[in-house]
Structure 1
Amino acid sequence: MAHPLEQSMKLSHLKRSMLSLPISFFALLLLLLLSYNAFTVFSFHVPKHTTPLLHSPSPLSVPASSLNSTLFNNTLSPLLPNTTQSFSLSSHRSRRVRKHKRGLRSLRSEPNFPLSPFRARLKAFFNNTSSCKVRFFMTWISPLKGFGEREFVSVESLFKSHPQACLVIVSKSLDSHLGTRILKPFVSKGFKVIAIAPDFGYIFKDTHAEAWFNRLKEGNVNPGEVSLGQNLSNLLRLALLYKFGGAYIDADVMVLKSFSKLRNTIGAQNFDALTGKWSRLNNAVLIFDKKHPLLFKFIEEFALTFDGNKWGHNGPYLISRVVARVSGRPGFNFTVLPPSAFYPVDWRGIRSLFRDQVRSKWLVKKMDQIRKESLAVHLWNRHSRKLKVVKGSIVDTIISSCCIFCNT
């Protein structure tokens, strides 16, 4: 063990040695300490990603759902996603991309010839069917495989109640060899039906829809989360009736009685029992004269207020808000039928129509009401497409009464 005096002498020697170091050494040491401190304060860690980078559109660009489509050419900038959410967001975006790509493939217009093939074929069809009592339109903006038994029965119901009607199905997928085979049984029985691919440029021309559709093709309209095909169908039915006049029905509507006495008619979806007035209208069934001013207002409202992120905003809600504004104004002559006419049950009660009616007094009364008051029944396919038709149910009874090919 060192003597205390010896330790003191060594410490004094060390202090003198340190003091004898050049000042530049201390300056260098201080600089290194400051640099280390700055690095620890301002440094950050970039996580390692195992999923592809997502893309975030600018406010005016088209979302990832429209990437690689022929209609949209916007360039999107990459965004570093949150690692805890990247997998679910990537899966969600990829589903939307596939969904919109399928829709866009079926939505492409025909080439812009001097004389639209759509116009020529439609004119020839109506000229050859001059005896048709009612002009019906349907739209099918979906793949052909989705046109199944229920849609086929809808066409059956139309011709069962309107044997002298003409039906134009505006659809690219049905305007094909396989589509012709699906509709052949009707043609073979002498019914007047044709499927024609839409020419949006011609159908929308000289309406507010024309400018809106051009903006959509240029990538200046955000198609949003809701199916673009669904929203284009909402617009297409309005433009078809405005240009040609007639009746439009959705492919999940079962027609029970003739529409021949109806003119400029909309159906209420819901009715307020306290006020005795409708609370919401629907666009699954529309009957209008050519160039009716209410149709013009509908199309204008679509173009000015389009929102692809709100379901129904460009469809039933659009019809409801426009009618509420123009009701009572001169020049807008139209009729709003009660819910029992086309919508005897709304989407929340549609399941009941697929059950056995013998087990419920309510269903027996509902069937009686439909027989007496309903011109058609909307099946709300979005909420019922996976339901099985139970034998003895109201839907089963309707299908049996609409059947044309029962024994074939």
Structure 2
Amino acid sequence: MHRDVTPTVHSKNIFIVETTCNPQSLYRNWCSVESWASQHPDKELWYILTSPFISDTTGIMKSLLDQYPNIRVVSSKFREIFQETPLWDLFNSDKWLKDTAWPESNLSNMVRGALVWKWGGVYADTDTICIRSTTKFTNSVGLVVDGSINVAVLIGQPHHQAFWMLMEHIKENFKGNVWGHNGPKAITSVMTKLCKGGSFHEIANNEQGCQNMSLLTAKHFYPIPFRQRQTYMLERKETDLEKLFEGSYVLHFWNRLTKTDPITVGSKSILETAAKKFCPITYRAATMHSRFF
């Protein structure tokens, strides 16, 4: 892994962060990395790992690096990421680590806004599969069906005020033991201020923005709501993803709720079909010795 490189400040970065300190990344993580890299060959994808070393016994990392020259696998340098941001003191405290069952989620919620604000580009969670290039979007966040905003995908130019406001909101309202408080709830509060209390659905449906920040409808990044998440896993007839997800760019499969549900070889589920098409190298590695991953 590279430890002495940092991104260039521009909008051609894609950041994916593994915050569990797992030295052997899950196949689903690598699938996300591969899908984003394959759909954005002109962008630099930074896969940031919190483990001080990585185990590549399956050879998946080498295979992906050989195939996709735009992938950068790097170790985390969080002090550099949070330096000169509103989250510096919070990161250096133990507040996000103590009295919580989700320290990795707290870290993830803190780091995503800092990355996009500091260097610009796209932040994506590891439980996403990119099915179309997102290059057409500049400063954008996506709604979910209930009208709130999720943080699995954030897109922004360097130093955009929305992501500074997100970090400020987390600093001032941090609650490490409440799921979603520092993520979806935080970005929803920020966009409520930027949109001056206007209807998110109306703004998104009319393709309007709020102070140079676009709101995208749920179909863009979250086409299947979390309450229907099992739709991703169900066995089905061959799925035409282009027709099924016309107008979608990302599939978000809600990993906190689906991580114990296996993707079964031959099921022709949405996730299996998406993996075969959009992360083929990862899919072959994951299914070489097992019918599940």
TM-score where L is the length of structure 1:
0.60
Tell me how far 1:304 sits from its aligned partner.
Answer: 0.5
Q: In the comparison of the two structures, how many residue pairs are matched?
A: 269
Aligned equivalents of 2:96 and 2:153: distance in 1?
Answer: 27
Change (3 A) 1:282 1:356: same
- Read off the aligned partner of 1:380 and give its amino acid letter: W
Change (3 A) 1:153 1:331: closer
Select 1:350's aligned residue among 229, 232, 255: 229
Task: Confirm whether residue 160 of structure 1 aligns to residue 34 of structure 2.
Answer: no
Conserved 8 A contact 2:96-2:106: no
Higher relative contact order (Cα pairs below 8 Å, separated by 6+ residues): 2
Q: Deviations over 1:128-166 (max 9, x none)?
A: xxxx98310011111325621111111221122122321
Aligned equivalents of 1:348 and 1:384: distance in 2?
Answer: 11
- Residue in structure 1 matched with residue 5 of structure 2 by the alignment: 121
1:62-73 correspondence runs (5 A): none
- Read off the aligned partner of 1:142 and give its amino acid letter: T
Conserved 8 A contact 2:96-2:103: no
Pair member with larger Rg:
1
TM-score where L is the length of structure 2:
0.82
Q: Deviations over 1:176-230 (max 9, x none)?
A: 352595422122124222232222222112221012223x14xx67733231121
Which 4+ runs in 1 deviate beyond 4 A? 179-182, 328-331, 364-367
Q: Deviations over 1:248-282 (max 9, x none)?
A: 101110000001111001011124xxxxxxx2110
- Residue in structure 1 matched with residue 87 of structure 2 by the alignment: 209
Aligned equivalents of 2:154 and 2:279: distance in 1?
Answer: 23
Select 2:53's aligned residue among 176, 190, 196: 176
Task: Confirm whether residue 307 of structure 1 aligns to residue 175 of structure 2.
Answer: yes
SS at match of 2:175: coil
Change (3 A) 1:138 1:353: same
Q: CA RMSD in A?
A: 2.9
Aligned equivalents of 1:222 and 1:135: distance in 2?
Answer: 28
Task: Confirm whether residue 381 of structure 1 aligns to residue 255 of structure 2.
Answer: yes
Task: Confirm whether residue 185 of structure 1 aligns to residue 53 of structure 2.
Answer: no
Conserved 8 A contact 2:37-2:71: no
Instruction: For structure 1, list consecutive stretches of 5 or more residues without a partner in the other structure.
Output: 1-116, 272-278
Q: Which has the higher helix share?
A: 1
Change (3 A) 1:328 1:366: farther
Conserved 8 A contact 2:11-2:122: no
Aligned equivalents of 1:388 and 1:221: distance in 2?
Answer: 31
Give % identity.
Answer: 26
Change (3 A) 1:324 1:226: farther
Conserved 8 A contact 2:39-2:133: yes
- Residue in structure 2 matched with residue 17 of structure 1 by the alignment: none
